[in-house]
Amino acid sequence: MNNENEKKKFRLIPQVMLLFAISVLVTGVITFFVQSSISNTAIRHQTESRASEIAEETATAIREYPAYDRLLSYWYTHANDLAIEYDAEYGAETETEAKCRTLTEHCPGVQLKYMTKQQLDAMDPEDQKLYAEVAYSWLITRLNQIKRAYHIDFLFCVAADEAYGTQFFLLSAADPGATRGTSYEEVYPLGHTVTVGADQQEAMRSAKANASHLANAGDYVDYYTFLGEAEGRPVFIGMTFNLSGLRSSSASQARRETLYAMLFQIFLSLICLILIYRFVLQPLKKVQKNIRLYKETKDSRTITESLKEIKTRNESGDLSKDVSALAAEMDDFIGRIETITAEKERVSTELSMATRIQAAMLPHVFPPFPERGEFDIYANMDPAKEVGGDFYDFFLIDDDHLGVVMADVSGKGVPAALFMMASKIILQSCAMLGGSPAEILTKTNEAICSNNQEEMFVTVWMGILEISSGRLTAANAGHEYPALQKSPDGPLELVKDKHGLVIGAMPAIKYREYELQMLPGTKLFLYTDGVPEATDDDGNMFGAERMLAALNEEPHAEPVRVLQNVRRAVDGFVKDAEQFDDLTMLCLEYKGNQTENAS
């Protein structure tokens, strides 16, 4: 158990670390994508603005020639007839320069570069061709300069067909030393026609409508601007950029930014972990340690002292205070329990002693009068609690008179037992003073009523048996009917005798008495209501019928046996139900004068 706990010492840290690791990864991924998308957009904007700048400059270079649209048309229609000098340098001894001189001679006073449409139209065809060649050469040189200045991959001017499916190359800038041709990696000459893809077509259409558009093709991006028309065909300035360099630099920047973001988050996570350890885990471990210590020692003072060291002002601090308080309460509680237990033990000891005292107060040696063969008597009292309120009694008033008493004090337990003790002593004292049962009960009632604040009462059946004759004089103060055997062969039956009020209820009660004759070999059975009112688990009572049946199982057996029969019947009836009233029985067998019988 302990080992296992040691192993799981800091389960929270790995759990939180896992969470942080996941969040660092998520942050990384998000940052990377955001950064990439931002830089891609930036590159696009940057490219677009640069391209439009270049296009503007290129268009200006072309439009500087007042007759540029005538020239475009001428180049388009005469592409194969022109003898063009590509990529010549200004000022050198070039064919173009020679052509210029020829033209200047033919058209004196005309500034070649700024020749108007009218002037061009007025020239003869030979000169028009020459001028077209010269202007073309000049423009190519200019475009080459622009291309070089801006480090563009391709810069060109094309005429598209009506369906935008092909491009007719009018102008195409080249780097110094590049070869002109129609093969791959050569710079296209005038009149070369290429088929273009959907992207390029779309870009050109869009350029015609909105003036500019980008078309992507891998790392290359094409940009088109509408320039004008030649022979009814749209003419575009186009350029191509290689974005791979820009892209890779932006990607590496995005990676760098992502790395920084992740490192920052890892740093924050570490600080978080340290704080959790310091402010949560450590105090928690300490609280746990102290709880375990308390479990072993049950000493709240030690752990309260120890827990005071936890000074964190958060829930773990509160927890340690609560644990201290709880431990103190537990101590207090345990202390109280100990006191209560000790008290209980004392009471229990006293009660068991009281049980013994009470039992000793009742005649409990059987046979009680071994020398008297004229009668046999047996009785027992089984209290529901440690002490009971029932009692029986029998005593020889004189040689010929046996007093028999069965009584039941209201209630149970200690109060009933105290009242029972007083009642028994008073009753026996009164009996010993002499008198009939009615007189004895009347006197007893007076004595008890004089000091009965608690309104306790006791039901008493009292009889005095004249041993020599079997005449039984009895009086009943609110007690159960006795059972009597009228003849030795007959059954025990209830005697519905005259009842007086219970003793202790009212002063100045006169009790009446009656006489019964006991024949030799008959029995008298006395009991308290605990017998007929013994109750089973379903609330059913044992009842007088069952009691009589049990009595008459063996009516001729000895008194002890008769009581055993009743007891067994009661136990069989109530089964496991708790006994809730005292259970007291007495059986007197009158045997008559033995000497007479013998003779």
The site for another protein (CB under 8 A) is made up of: 408-412, 455-457, 459, 477-481, 499-502, 505-506, 529, 533, 535-539, 541, 577-578, 580-581
Q: Which amino acid is at 75?
A: W
Q: Residue 169 or 461: which CB sits closer to another protein?
A: 461
Q: Residue 213 or 479: which CB sits closer to another protein?
A: 479
Q: Residue 230 or 505: which CB sits closer to another protein?
A: 505
Sheet holding 390-398, edge to edge: 390-398, 401-409, 458-466, 471-477, 513-517
CB 587 within 8 A of CB 562: yes
Least distance CB 350 / another protein (angstroms): 21
Q: Which two tokens stand for residue 212?
A: 């500019």
Distance between CA atoms of 27 and 263, rounded to whole angstroms? Answer: 10
Least distance CB 574 / another protein (angstroms): 9
CB 597 within 8 A of CB 520: yes
Q: Residue 133 or 513: which CB sits closer to another protein?
A: 513
Q: Residue 133 or 408: which CB sits closer to another protein?
A: 408
Least distance CB 411 / another protein (angstroms): 4
Give 180's DSSP letter.
B
Q: Residue 180 or 499: which CB sits closer to another protein?
A: 499
Least distance CB 405 / another protein (angstroms): 17
Give first-to-last CA distance, the chain, whole Å: 89
Q: Residue 57 or 533: which CB sits closer to another protein?
A: 533
**Residue 45: strand, helix, or coil:** helix
Least distance CB 440 / another protein (angstroms): 16
**Residue 513: strand, helix, or coil:** strand
Distance between CA atoms of 291 and 307, rounded to whole angstroms? Answer: 10
Least distance CB 565 / another protein (angstroms): 24
Least distance CB 564 / another protein (angstroms): 25
Cβ within 8 Å of residue 363, ≥6 positions away: 379, 392, 393, 394, 395
Least distance CB 389 / another protein (angstroms): 8
Distance between CA atoms of 58 and 154, rounded to whole angstroms? Answer: 13
Q: Residue 6 or 455: which CB sits closer to another protein?
A: 455
Least distance CB 410 / another protein (angstroms): 4
Helix (H) or strand (E) holding 194: strand 193-195
Q: Which of 47, 33, 50 is nearest to 244 (CA)?
A: 47
Q: Residue 399 or 578: which CB sits closer to another protein?
A: 578
CB 462 within 8 A of CB 404: yes
Cβ within 8 Å of residue 403, ≥6 positions away: 393, 394, 395, 396, 397, 428, 431, 462, 463, 464
Q: Residue 157 or 547: which CB sits closer to another protein?
A: 547
Q: Number of H helices and number of E strands within the chain? A: 16, 16
With 0-12 CB in 10 A as exposed, 13-18 as middle and 19+ as buried, what is 344?
Answer: exposed
Least distance CB 481 / another protein (angstroms): 7
Q: Which of 369, 429, 378, 421 is nearest to 399 (CA)?
A: 369
